[in-house]
């Protein structure tokens, strides 16, 4: 799970023209025959509240008009702080500090986040070193009952007590006031006879800080690809990159219905054989019983970004649609718009050193033309862009590296499909 030391996927051979999807992605609304989906509108820059030397942005939407942004901020004395701010009706509130001055484990691919619980409280997480080992670190979770002004004492959701890796956290509201989490857990890799295998684990934190329902979801997962989650009408779904005994690293989903978790289900059998971690996890979006998953794969020596849809809460997935333009870096993002269409974003390589963040709508088996959100670096320093929908607007946040490192944001109108 220690992403800085993992090899990335080599650039695939020049890809042929992107093939059409074999099966249609469903949509909440039918589209007139022959019409391709409408691309998002032109990006409009949003003034960033994050200063120079900020990176690792994460976004979370609550209700119809509130968006939360978190980032990691490097101070002039080289210390780090986790910062958060709300944007309501197009205006930034006061920037708040979640925590600072702690022994953070800072990582370009594994970043802090915030979510809003069903009672309106905030929950935030970060990673913190736990021992002298290079990759001995754990998860810390805090809550705020006053809109990020003050925060609770940190809670550690894993109870193994081992100097091992714990990270790549995804969080969701659980019940009236609880918090659900899933993460990659390296407690097996702390054993002398281990092959550095990672597990996927989950737990719930109650309103009074008690741990419940700690369980293992998968005994062997990819080492350092992000874990993602979403809520359906029937429960919750957690999506991650699996790791078979033969080093097949495809995307799988598990579902929680009541207190029980399902066995992993393949989103699609790419059959990607890869001996290292690609540091390129999936993204998931949910709407009712629909689950959309977007991910990167380089199976058959061809780099692709794919998106697949389930209409039964993640129990089964349709064949995927390819959404890249021939030379993707990946770092996929996916959301549903208000019409029920899927909007997918990813990074596409332009030159060996540069890339573009691109987004497009996918509806009824067709892809819209892509919209370039921003030019960025192809290096790891550019991190993972993040994307949410608020009203009829798509908001994207990313780490710019030129002329300085700083979190940047843009909004794109999600034009109606019925307009031509």
Query: What local confidence, expressed as pLDDT, does residue 36 receive?
Result: 85
- The answer to whether 166 touches 142, Cβ cutoff 8 Å, is no
**Angstrom distance (rounded) from CA 250 to CA 217:** 16
**Collapsed DSSP state (helix, strand, coil) of residue 265:** strand
Query: What local confidence, expressed as pLDDT, does residue 189 receive?
Result: 73
Q: Is the pLDDT of residue 24 over 70?
A: no
**Angstrom distance (rounded) from CA 71 to CA 407:** 8
Query: What local confidence, expressed as pLDDT, does residue 84 receive?
Result: 98
Q: Is the pLDDT of residue 372 over 70?
A: yes
- Classify residue 303 by its DSSP letter: -
- Residue with more model confidence, 6 or 276: 276
Lowest-pLDDT choice from 190-199, 334-343, 361-370: 190-199
First vs last Cα of the chain: how many Å apart? 46
**Angstrom distance (rounded) from CA 197 to CA 199:** 7
Q: 384-396 pLDDT, tens per residue?
A: 999 999 999 999 9
**% of the chain residues with pLDDT over 90:** 82
**Angstrom distance (rounded) from CA 250 to CA 266:** 7
Query: What local confidence, expressed as pLDDT, does residue 25 receive?
Result: 54
Which string of DSSP letters, residue by residue, matches 81-125?
EEEEEEEETTEE---EEEEESS-B---SSS--EEEE-TTS-EEEE
Q: Is the pLDDT of residue 51 over 90?
A: yes
Q: Is the pLDDT of residue 203 over 50?
A: yes
Q: Is the pLDDT of residue 267 over 60?
A: yes
Query: What local confidence, expressed as pLDDT, does residue 27 receive?
Result: 39
Task: Give the CB-side neighbour count of residue 203, counting CA atoms within 13 A.
Answer: 19
Query: What local confidence, expressed as pLDDT, does residue 133 receive?
Result: 80
Query: What local confidence, expressed as pLDDT, does residue 298 receive?
Result: 98
pTM of structure: 0.92
Q: Is the pLDDT of residue 420 over 70?
A: no
CATH code given to domain 55-353: 2.120.10.10
Q: Is the pLDDT of residue 256 over 50?
A: yes
Q: In the predicted model, what is the mean pLDDT of the chain?
A: 90
Q: Is the pLDDT of residue 40 over 90?
A: yes
Q: 97-129 pLDDT, tens per residue?
A: 999 999 999 999 999 999 999 999 999 999 999
**Angstrom distance (rounded) from CA 346 to CA 392:** 20
Tokens describing residue 242: 């699996």
- The answer to whether 274 touches 247, Cβ cutoff 8 Å, is yes
Tokens describing residue 274: 């890869």
The sign of the dihedral angle between the CA atoms of 383, 388, 113, 324 is negative
**% of the chain residues with pLDDT over 70:** 89
**Angstrom distance (rounded) from CA 198 to CA 277:** 11
**Angstrom distance (rounded) from CA 109 to CA 383:** 6
Quickly tell me which residue has 């390819």 as its tokens: 322
Query: What local confidence, expressed as pLDDT, does residue 12 receive?
Result: 42
Which string of DSSP letters, residue by residue, matches 225-242?
PPPEEEEETTEEEEEEEB
Q: Between vectors from CA 409 to CA 403 and to CA 415, what angle results, nearest 5°? A: 135
**Angstrom distance (rounded) from CA 131 to CA 346:** 36
**Angstrom distance (rounded) from CA 125 to CA 27:** 34
Query: What local confidence, expressed as pLDDT, does residue 15 receive?
Result: 38
Mean pLDDT in residue range 66-91 = 96
Mean pLDDT in residue range 216-227 = 96
Q: How confident is the model at residue 190 (pLDDT cuts 50, 70, 90)?
A: low
**Angstrom distance (rounded) from CA 134 to CA 165:** 10
Lowest-pLDDT choice from 69-83, 164-178, 351-365, 405-419: 405-419
Mean pLDDT in residue range 371-387 = 97
Q: How confident is the model at residue 141 (pLDDT cuts 50, 70, 90)?
A: very high
């Amino acid at each position: 799970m220690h992403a800085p030391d993992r090899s990335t996927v080599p650039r695939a051979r020049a890809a042929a023209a992107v093939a059409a999807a074999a099966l249609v992605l469903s949509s909440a609304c039918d589209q007139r025959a022959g019409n391709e989906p409408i691309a998002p509108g032109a990006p409009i820059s949003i003034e960033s509240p994050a200063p120079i030397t900020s990176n690792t942005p994460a976004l979370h939407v609550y209700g119809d008009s509130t968006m939360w942004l978190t980032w990691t901020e490097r101070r002039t004395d080289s210390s780090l702080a986790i910062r958060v701010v709300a944007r309501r009706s197009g205006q930034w509130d006061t920037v708040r500090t979640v925590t600072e001055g702690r022994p953070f484990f800072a990582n370009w691919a594994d970043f802090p986040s915030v979510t809003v619980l069903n009672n309106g409280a905030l929950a935030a997480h970060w990673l913190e070193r736990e021992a002298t080992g290079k990759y001995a670190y754990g998860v810390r979770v805090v809550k705020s009952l006053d809109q990020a002004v003050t925060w609770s004492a940190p809670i550690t959701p894993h109870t193994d007590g081992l100097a091992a890796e714990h990270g790549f956290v995804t969080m969701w509201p659980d019940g009236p006031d609880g918090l659900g989490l899933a993460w990659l857990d390296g407690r097996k890799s702390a054993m002398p006879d281990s092959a550095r295998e990672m597990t996927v684990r989950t737990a719930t934190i109650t309103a009074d800080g008690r741990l419940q329902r700690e369980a293992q979801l998968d005994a062997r997962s990819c080492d350092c690809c992000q874990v993602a989650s979403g809520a359906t009408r029937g429960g919750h779904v957690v999506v991650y990159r699996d790791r078979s005994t033969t080093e097949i690293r495809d995307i799988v989903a598990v579902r929680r219905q009541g207190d029980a978790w399902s066995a992993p289900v393949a989103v699609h059998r790419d059959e990607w054989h890869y001996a290292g971690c690609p540091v390129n996890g999936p993204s998931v979006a949910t709407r009712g019983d629909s689950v959309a998953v977007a991910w990167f794969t380089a199976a058959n020596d061809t780099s692709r970004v794919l998106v697949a849809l389930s209409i039964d809460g993640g129990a089964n997935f349709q064949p995927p649609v390819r959404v890249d333009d021939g030379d993707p870096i990946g770092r996929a993002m996916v959301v549903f718009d208000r019409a029920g269409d899927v909007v997918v974003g990813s990074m596409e390589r332009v030159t060996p050193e540069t890339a573009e963040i691109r987004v497009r709508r996918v509806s009824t088996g067709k892809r819209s033309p892509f919209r370039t959100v921003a030019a960025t670096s192809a290096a790891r320093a550019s991190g993972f862009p993040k994307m949410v929908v608020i009203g009829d607007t798509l908001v994207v946040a990313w780490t710019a590296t030129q002329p300085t490192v700083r979190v940047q944001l843009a909004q794109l109108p999600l034009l109606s499909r019925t307009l031509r």
